[in-house]
Structure 1
Amino acid sequence: MKLGIRILLGYFLIVGLAGVFIQRVFLAEVKPAVRQAMEDTLVDTANILAELAADDMKQNRIADGNFASRVREYAHRDINAKIWSFRKTTLDYRIYVTDLKGIVQFDSTGRAVGQDYSRRNDVYLTLQGNYGVRSTRDVDSDERSTVMHVAAPIIDSGKMIGVLTVAKPNNTLQPAISQSERTILRWGALLLVLSLAVGLAVTLWISRSLGALQRYARAVTAGERAQPPTKGASEIVELGRALESMRQRLEGKQYVEHYIHSLTHEMKSPLAAIRGAAELLDEDLPAAEQRRFAHNIRGQSQRLSELIEKMLALAAIEHRQALENIVAIDLGQLLAEVIALLEPRLQQAKVTVQVANAPELPQIRGEVFLLRQALLNLLENAIDFSPAGGAITIQADSSVAGVVTLAVADNGPGIPDYALGRVFERFYSLPRPASNEKSTGLGLCFVQQVAQLHHGQIILHNRGAGGAEARLTLPLEPT
């Protein structure tokens, strides 16, 4: 299925779900809200009528007094009211009055006089001093026949002398509810059609933009001259520009040329040293001199080997966009492994390593190989700048939620001010205090790439007490 059709169907599905949601909200919220409004009106009406009926109730003539007469006249009124868009022609209130025993003394319909209503909630709750209300079906089998009853106490001189109830069928509100529902459905259908039209237009616009980008990609693949799309969605245009920029860099072989240039430049010095030592070995030299030049050749060869290996590793990681083999890693165990690997070098340099908090570190997720190489580079760098008899301190910190920080500190000479901003540059290196030689200048650059792939960071700074400290911060879970 084409992307444009998927977008259109997804858009239509969202709009359809929104329409269903609105309808459900109407049924779940609007209808009860309308009935709540009717109940509120009934409360006011019941309390007003209770005041009007108080005199007749007090004089024990509620069934044939002035109040009863007025209520009967109300029932025969001729009504022809247009309320908004529907017409009302009947009066729907039923009014009845009970005494303190719950016996009906007056009923505007005349059907319940003398009956005991004391157990009906509207009367019962009011007699108990509470708010009396109930909703009951007139016909048990018809849920549409429910009638709402709201009662109010009839008070005389601060004492209750009876209860007046006003009742109204809930279905009298149905015309208004039905009309509102029809209106919502009508406008919902119109909205659905308009949304479909808008979705179709947007889909065609996006499909046209994607089609232009697709044609451009095919032309580039075929080796034809082509320009990226300049019209359509801004993101598509920007993507086309990015692809064009990438194509130009790849076609110009800028990336490869840069690496070749850097590699050949860095290889000149060790190759020249090897060549010079080899030429001197051709001469008749004392054995001590021969051993010294042979040692130089081995050292420069090792340097070339390290340079090539680190160059290839850095080139591989710089092209990575994300981590691949993500697993759970015990940082404490990984640190122990790295220190064990470097033990011969530590003994040769007469440097010790002190680790704090490593057993307390939480597990993180990442690539074991990359993190191991990064820690190896940091420790090798610290060893190179540590004096004989010095100590490297590895401080672990997981106090900040979601991240862990490893601080690798040495007590060497520190970083000169002029070099602080360049330590992560490719091939930039400082002379080692012990040998005055430089490294490949790729180790810290590799560590920075590993940190970025794990969505962390690496910071290198001078310590106040002397020496340098590298702080590698990693999230527990790479995002």
Structure 2
Amino acid sequence: MPLGIRIFAVYFLFVGLAGWFVLSTVTDEIRPGVRQSTEETLVDTANLLAEILREEVKAGHLAQSHLPELLEAYGRRQPQANIWGLTKRAVNHRIYVTDASGRVLLDSSGRALGQDYSRWNDVYLTLRGDYGARTTREDPDNPESSVMYVAAPILDGEQIIGVVSVAKPNRTLQPYIERSQRRLRWFGVGLIALGLLVGALLSWWLSSALGKLTRYAQAVSAGRRAELPRLPGGELGQLASAVEHMRVELEGKDYVERYVHTLTHELKSPLAAIRGAAELLDGEMPKAQRQRFVSNIQQEAGRLQQLSERLLHLAQVEQRHGLEEQEAVPLAFLLEELLEAQQSRITAAGLKLEVVFDHALELYGERFLLRQALANLLDNALDFTPQEGLIRFTAKRKQAHIELCLFNQGEAIPDYALERLTERFYSLPRPGSGRKSTGLGLNFVQEVAGLHGGALSVSNVEGGVEVRLNLPSA
């Protein structure tokens, strides 16, 4: 059975049972709730009548008063009241009054006049000073014929001189109870249906998301190109990220192999040159030729040293999870130091140098890494700028960061190479010599920018190439 159907089945069972239980419980509570509210109203009515009838009962003139006529007129009234969609066409209260011995003095129905009601709970309990109420069936065999009776004492000071009881048939409440139950059932069924619809959509959505991940994993396993499915945040997003991370880690094995092959290739060329020059130096040759081979050995040894140093620096940066130290580093001082170190090279090539920025700007981070990153950028710019070309360095503050821009005049970078410039060991031939560098400089700069919470970008602009480096400001 598919996972989505299983999830929906469990959801259906849970929502269905919970909905049925709640609906059944609430429906069953409507009847006693309505009757409790009615009893509370009867209590108020009984106590009001007890105050109204007190003087007549105390004087013993109740039967001769105008009250029997009033009650008779009350029984004939037809309210025609529209109560929440139900029309009330007759009054339903029965009112009777007893004396202190429980004998009926007045009965709005006329049935119990003169009878002894002292044993009925409503009268019996009230005469004892307790709350008097009872429910009695008019037809013992019909539970729907029950009538609620609520009594209140008629007091003369602290003495109980009589009891007034107000009765209401429960059948008159039934239409309201049935209406409430019917409406509640419709609402309940609608809510359950809506809940099941939401459950179906949720199951479909979850099943669809898991299906996308499954198809993605199958495509990766089969070696096909596949794009990571876009899933919302939360657990599904985390699962997608974990799957992607696992793919990257697995592909990392191939990457390490390629890394070793590329490094071996980079080392093989200078080592072969050194070995060949050393073998030739072992024999007799003119001094000028010997000097040329010695120079080649020194040049290739320097290349090996540069490669090893940059690899060490890059490895140190990649293994870090944060900066070891952070301080305010004056940008002007840092750049002045780097330009002074490269002054001979700048002069020899006849380069034009422009430096435009506020000398009060300060970077915030690890001094050594910042210096190395700027040194790599400047070294690249010098390599690709033609004789008597222009190098321009600008900087400006952007909120909490400083944007450094290094422009060098020269040929545009090919489109296919722009996205690969920060890859390890990827390098373009230098215009002057045609030789490639270690291909580690820009990768190192990108790692340093990431450690500082910044970013690196390289783009072609009119007349040359521009590198933008965002770093935090002090």
With normalisation by structure 2, the TM-score equals 0.51
**Structure 2: which 5+ residue stretches go unaligned?**
258-474
Is the Cα–Cα contact under 8 Å of residues 213 and 240 in structure 1 kept in the other structure? yes
Matched, 1:143 2:134: no
Letter in 1 for 2:73: E
Which structure has the greater CA radius of gyration?
2
2:90 — aligned with what? 90
Is the Cα–Cα contact under 8 Å of residues 96 and 107 in structure 1 kept in the other structure? yes
Equivalent residues in 2 for 1:77-156 (5 A)?
Answer: 77-156=77-156
1:56 — aligned with what? 56
Letter in 2 for 1:121: N
2:27 — aligned with what? 27
Deviation at 1:100, TM superposition (A): 1.6
Deviation at 1:251, TM superposition (A): 4.1
Letter in 2 for 1:208: S
Query: CA–CA distance in 2 between the matches of 1:200 and 1:146?
Result: 47
Equivalent residues in 2 for 1:424-439 (5 A)?
Answer: none
1:162 — aligned with what? 162
Query: CA–CA distance in 1 between the matches of 2:185 and 2:141?
Result: 29
In the TM superposition, what whole-angstrom CA distance separates every residue of 1:88-142 from its partner, at most 9, and x where no partner exists?
Answer: 0011001111122212222111212232221211111100011111112222122
Query: CA–CA distance in 2 between the matches of 1:71 and 1:27?
Result: 36
In the TM superposition, what whole-angstrom CA distance separates every residue of 1:304-337 from its partner, at most 9, and x where no partner exists?
Answer: xxxxxxxxxxxxxxxxxxxxxxxxxxxxxxxxxx
In the TM superposition, what whole-angstrom CA distance separates every residue of 1:9-50 from its partner, at most 9, and x where no partner exists?
Answer: 222333323322332332343332221211111111111111
Is the Cα–Cα contact under 8 Å of residues 134 and 148 in structure 1 kept in the other structure? yes
2:228 — aligned with what? 228
Equivalent residues in 2 for 1:28-427 (5 A)?
Answer: 28-231=28-231, 234-253=234-253
Query: CA–CA distance in 1 between the matches of 2:237 and 2:151?
Result: 70
SS in 2 for 1:140: coil
Query: CA–CA distance in 2 between the matches of 1:68 and 1:52?
Result: 14
In the TM superposition, what whole-angstrom CA distance separates every residue of 1:348-404 from its partner, at most 9, and x where no partner exists?
Answer: xxxxxxxxxxxxxxxxxxxxxxxxxxxxxxxxxxxxxxxxxxxxxxxxxxxxxxxxx
Query: CA–CA distance in 2 between the matches of 1:220 and 1:85?
Result: 66
Letter in 1 for 2:86: F
Is the Cα–Cα contact under 8 Å of residues 56 and 66 in structure 1 kept in the other structure? no
Query: CA–CA distance in 2 between the matches of 1:47 and 1:23?
Result: 37
Q: Aligned pair count? A: 257
Deviation at 1:236, TM superposition (A): 2.4
SS in 1 for 2:173: helix
Is the Cα–Cα contact under 8 Å of residues 205 and 232 in structure 1 kept in the other structure? no
Over aligned residues, Cα RMSD in angstroms?
Answer: 2.4
SS in 2 for 1:31: helix
Query: CA–CA distance in 2 between the matches of 1:113 and 1:130?
Result: 24
1:286 — aligned with what? none
Query: CA–CA distance in 1 between the matches of 2:232 and 2:12?
Result: 22
In the TM superposition, what whole-angstrom CA distance separates every residue of 1:158-189 from its partner, at most 9, and x where no partner exists?
Answer: 42111110000122121112111111111222
Letter in 1 for 2:195: S
Query: CA–CA distance in 2 between the matches of 1:186 and 1:227?
Result: 47
Deviation at 1:76, TM superposition (A): 1.2
Counterparts in 2 of 1:158 and 1:237: CA distance versus 1, 3 Å: closer
Is the Cα–Cα contact under 8 Å of residues 154 and 163 in structure 2 kept in the other structure? yes
Query: CA–CA distance in 1 between the matches of 2:223 and 2:137?
Result: 81
1:341 — aligned with what? none
Is the Cα–Cα contact under 8 Å of residues 30 and 181 in structure 2 kept in the other structure? no
Query: CA–CA distance in 2 between the matches of 1:253 and 1:24?
Result: 62
Is the Cα–Cα contact under 8 Å of residues 147 and 170 in structure 1 kept in the other structure? yes
Letter in 2 for 1:23: L
Query: CA–CA distance in 1 between the matches of 2:81 and 2:118?
Result: 36
**Structure 1: which 5+ residue stretches go unaligned?**
258-479
1:15 — aligned with what? 15
Letter in 1 for 2:69: S
Letter in 1 for 2:178: S
Query: CA–CA distance in 1 between the matches of 2:239 and 2:79?
Result: 71
Letter in 2 for 1:105: L
In the TM superposition, what whole-angstrom CA distance separates every residue of 1:196-245 from its partner, at most 9, and x where no partner exists?
Answer: 33222222211111111111222233333333322356532321221221
Query: CA–CA distance in 2 between the matches of 1:47 and 1:217?
Result: 79
SS in 2 for 1:252: helix
SS in 2 for 1:209: helix
Is the Cα–Cα contact under 8 Å of residues 153 and 164 in structure 2 kept in the other structure? yes
Query: CA–CA distance in 2 between the matches of 1:56 and 1:210?
Result: 83
Query: CA–CA distance in 2 between the matches of 1:233 and 1:203?
Result: 17
Is the Cα–Cα contact under 8 Å of residues 107 and 113 in structure 2 kept in the other structure? yes
2:2 — aligned with what? 2
In the TM superposition, what whole-angstrom CA distance separates every residue of 1:397-429 from its partner, at most 9, and x where no partner exists?
Answer: xxxxxxxxxxxxxxxxxxxxxxxxxxxxxxxxx
Is the Cα–Cα contact under 8 Å of residues 81 and 87 in structure 2 kept in the other structure? yes
Query: CA–CA distance in 1 between the matches of 2:234 and 2:159?
Result: 78
Deviation at 1:82, TM superposition (A): 0.9
Query: CA–CA distance in 2 between the matches of 1:233 and 1:32?
Result: 48
1:357 — aligned with what? none
Query: CA–CA distance in 2 between the matches of 1:63 and 1:17?
Result: 60
Query: CA–CA distance in 2 between the matches of 1:53 and 1:78?
Result: 24
Is the Cα–Cα contact under 8 Å of residues 206 and 232 in structure 1 kept in the other structure? no
Is the Cα–Cα contact under 8 Å of residues 231 and 240 in structure 2 kept in the other structure? no
Letter in 2 for 1:245: H
Is the Cα–Cα contact under 8 Å of residues 27 and 184 in structure 2 kept in the other structure? no
